[in-house]
């Protein structure tokens, strides 16, 4: 396993933040040593400490506790905010406090280069071998070195939520286009979009898909491409297209509940939550493109120094097992790494037919959506500084 170099010096908070502002320089520069950030916090036997996106968490961890014999201490963190996430790991020493860290897949790849991620011994993960190679070696997960650093937790193909009756539009699986969110007189002033750099990536996808701009990879744009995408979004903002830019999951839900928006770029769980509140909202299937993404989980290098490494592997293997995949499909509408085991679990537990149907429908849904152009987002573009700067320009326009 990759271990920290004991001879590395501890960088100051100011040094690391300066590097982050300059892009991924703090992560890529070989002369900036980030190891040795204090001693690893002692293990808490029988307890797994995990930091991750709020949609990673189940409503309760009783099934985890029953099947692993471990307790879960989960700390939610907005993993889509890449700068804040890097700050939490590199400056605030998240690896000293957590056994597992969940990120938007792609974000972990620069951290591997800085020896912040422990190489996985996949022989300790009985469920790992059955994960499809296309998932294990997806462009946002694989570091290209023949090694395994991060476990694919779940993935999805994102779109937007909308009120079909209010808009007089069909429901899935009938397909819509991103014009409804970005470029529509019908929804002018009634849409919402991400308040982070993913908004720029969506703008890039739209321009590329329509042939309106030369953009090689919307998820990893150059400074010039990023400026082009931002110019388009600012044009739409000045036309009055967007009512708001959201930053959190709770804001997504609130936007639907308070009736401020009729179309919103959002996470699928937000649609599921507002539907549970009695609102008639659907999550669009699109004919032009979807946003393909994955969440992954890694073990920070500090964790391998603790005495509970075997327990951490036990927890990690549970996350890529059937019970988590099945529960997540029902709760969030996401596809786990081993949906084959998820379906087996649901049937073995004699779940109600409608719940089993939801698991099966989730598998079909993702297969359908992933047939669109392969627009993966990894959350960590090479020119992070340009994206941050252009996102600030969009917000302030």
Encode pLDDT of 224-236 as tens digits.
999 999 999 999 9
Residue among 122, 117, 115, 118 nearest 136 (CA): 122
Q: Compute the average pLDDT of residues 343-369.
A: 91
Flag whether pLDDT at 10 surpasses 80: no
pLDDT of 137: 85
- How do residues 309-351 score in pLDDT, each as one tens digit? 999 999 999 999 999 999 999 998 889 999 999 999 999 999 9
Distance CA 223, CA 197 (A): 13
Confidence class for position 129, pLDDT limits 50, 70, 90: very high
- How do residues 44-100 score in pLDDT, each as one tens digit? 889 999 999 999 999 999 999 999 999 999 999 988 888 899 999 999 999 999 999
Flag whether pLDDT at 14 surpasses 50: no
Hey, what domains does the chain have and what are their CATH numbers? 13-152+294-351 (3.40.190.10), 160-289+376-396 (3.40.190.10)
Q: Compute the average pLDDT of residues 34-50.
A: 68
Q: Compute the average pLDDT of residues 17-39.
A: 37
Two structure tokens written together for 339: 């949906």
Distance CA 117, CA 143 (A): 12
Flag whether pLDDT at 240 surpasses 90: yes
pLDDT of 4: 33
pLDDT of 324: 97
pLDDT of 31: 24
pLDDT of 47: 97
Distance CA 161, CA 333 (A): 13
Confidence class for position 222, pLDDT limits 50, 70, 90: very high
Least confident of 26-30, 202-206, 275-279, 325-329: 26-30
Flag whether pLDDT at 38 surpasses 60: no
Q: Compute the average pLDDT of residues 116-144.
A: 91
pLDDT of 37: 38
pLDDT of 374: 67
- How do residues 162-183 score in pLDDT, each as one tens digit? 999 999 999 998 999 999 999 9
Burial class of residue 115 in the structure, from the number of CB atoms within 10 Å of its CB (0-12 exposed, 13-18 middle, 19+ buried): middle
pLDDT of 298: 97
Average pLDDT value for the chain: 88
Q: What backbone torsions phi and psi does residue 287 show, to the nearest 5 degrees?
A: -90, -20
- How do residues 266-321 score in pLDDT, each as one tens digit? 999 899 999 999 999 999 999 999 998 999 999 999 999 899 999 999 999 999 99
pLDDT of 362: 81
- Three-state SS string over the chain comes to CCCCCCCCCCCCHHHHHHHHHCCCHHHHCCCCCCCCCCCCCCCCCCEEEEEECHHHCCCCCHHHHHHHCCEEEEEECCCCCHHHHHHHHHHCCHHHHCCEEEEECCCHHHHHHCCCECCCCHHHCCCCCCCCHHHHCCCCCCCCCCCCCCEEEEEEEECEEECHHHHCCCCCCCEECCHHHHCCCCCCCCEEEECCCHHHHHHHHHHHHHCCCCCCCCCCCCHHHHHHHHHHHHHHHHCCCEEEEECCHHHHHHHHHCCCCCEEECCHHHHHHHHHCCCCCEECEECCCCEEEEEEEECEHHHHHCCCHHHHHHHHHHHCCHHHHHHHHHHCCCEECCHHHHHHHHHHCCCCHHHHHHHHHHHHHHHHHCCCCCCECCCCCCCHHHHHHHHHHHHHC
Confidence class for position 40, pLDDT limits 50, 70, 90: low
Confidence class for position 41, pLDDT limits 50, 70, 90: low
Provide, rounded to the nearest whole percent, the portion of the chain with pLDDT above 70.
89
Q: What backbone torsions phi and psi does residue 195 show, to the nearest 5 degrees?
A: -95, 15
Return the higher-pLDDT residue of 368 and 314.
Answer: 314
Q: Any idea which residue has 């592997």 for tokens?
A: 313
Two structure tokens written together for 248: 């959190």
Provide, rounded to the nearest whole percent, the portion of the chain with pLDDT above 90.
73
pLDDT of 371: 76
Distance CA 153, CA 364 (A): 18
Two structure tokens written together for 233: 């979004």
Flag whether pLDDT at 147 surpasses 80: yes
pTM of the model: 0.78
């Amino acid at each position: 396993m990759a271990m920290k170099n004991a001879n590395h010096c501890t960088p100051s908070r100011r040094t690391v933040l300066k590097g982050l502002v300059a892009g991924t320089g703090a992560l890529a520069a070989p002369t900036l040593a980030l190891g040795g950030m204090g001693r690893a916090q002692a293990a808490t036997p029988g307890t797994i400490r995990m930091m991750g996106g709020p949609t990673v968490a189940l409503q309760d961890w009783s099934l985890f506790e029953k099947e692993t014999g471990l307790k879960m201490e989960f700390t939610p963190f907005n993993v889509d905010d890449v700068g804040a996430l890097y700050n939490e790991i590199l400056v605030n020493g998240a690896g000293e406090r957590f056994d597992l860290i969940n990120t938007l897949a792609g974000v972990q790849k620069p951290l591997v280069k800085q020896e912040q991620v422990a190489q996985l011994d996949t022989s300790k993960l009985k469920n790992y071998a059955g994960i499809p190679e296309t998932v294990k070696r997806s462009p946002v997960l694989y570091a290209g070195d023949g090694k395994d650093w991060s476990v694919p937790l779940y993935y999805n193909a994102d779109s937007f939520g909308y009120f079909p009756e209010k808009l007089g539009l069909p429901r899935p699986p009938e397909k819509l286009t991103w014009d409804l969110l970005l470029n529509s007189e019908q929804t002018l002033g009634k849409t919402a979009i991400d308040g982070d750099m993913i908004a720029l990536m969506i703008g890039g996808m739209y321009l590329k898909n329509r042939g309106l701009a030369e953009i090689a990879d919307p998820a990893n744009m150059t400074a010039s491409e990023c400026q082009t995408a931002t110019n388009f979004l600012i044009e739409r903002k000045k036309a009055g297209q967007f009512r708001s830019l959201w930053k959190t999951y709770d804001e997504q839900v609130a936007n639907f509940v308070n009736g401020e928006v009729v179309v919103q770029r959002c996470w699928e769980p937000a649609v599921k939550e507002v539907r549970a509140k009695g609102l008639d909202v659907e999550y669009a299937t699109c004919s032009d493109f979807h946003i393909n993404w994955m969440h992954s989980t890694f073990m920070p290098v500090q964790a391998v120094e603790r005495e509970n490494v075997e327990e951490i592997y036990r927890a990690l293997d549970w996350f890529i097992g059937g019970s988590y995949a099945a529960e997540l499909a029902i709760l969030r509408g996401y596809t786990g790494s081993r949906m084959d085991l998820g379906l087996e679990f649901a049937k073995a537990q004699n779940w109600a037919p409608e719940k089993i149907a939801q698991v099966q429908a989730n598998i079909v849904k993702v297969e359908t959506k992933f047939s669109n152009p392969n627009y993966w987002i990894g959350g960590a573009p090479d020119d992070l500084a340009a994206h941050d700067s252009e996102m600030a320009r969009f917000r302030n326009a």
